Structure 1
């Protein structure tokens, strides 16, 4: 997992488990629902979609 995301969401990990707070869980559920809605309405056809996905992999957007 991207360390920036782990820090922002206060996620603790070890080899076998991930521990999050209830508030973090709620944020993740909401973000997941938003992502599903965006995909259902064609966000993957957006001009910047590929750049955004590459940025998740740590690649330079330019």
Structure 2
């Protein structure tokens, strides 16, 4: 199978001790969509920030490059 690129936006929250924890990652349609979604997630109540990233690889083989 050909390589596929996944675009992801993921928020970060604080736990009860104040440590950062990753929120639920959301798959997006494009890199610009992931950036826009990360911006929205970063402004959500309880959020301390968000990241947008992509991963490319072969899902059938389970082989992906670094994010």
> What TM-score, normalized to structure 1?
0.25
Q: Higher strand proportion, which one? A: 2
Say which structure, 1 or 2, has more relative contact order (CA 8 Å, 6+ apart).
2
> What TM-score, normalized to structure 2?
0.23
Q: Higher helix proportion, which one? A: 1
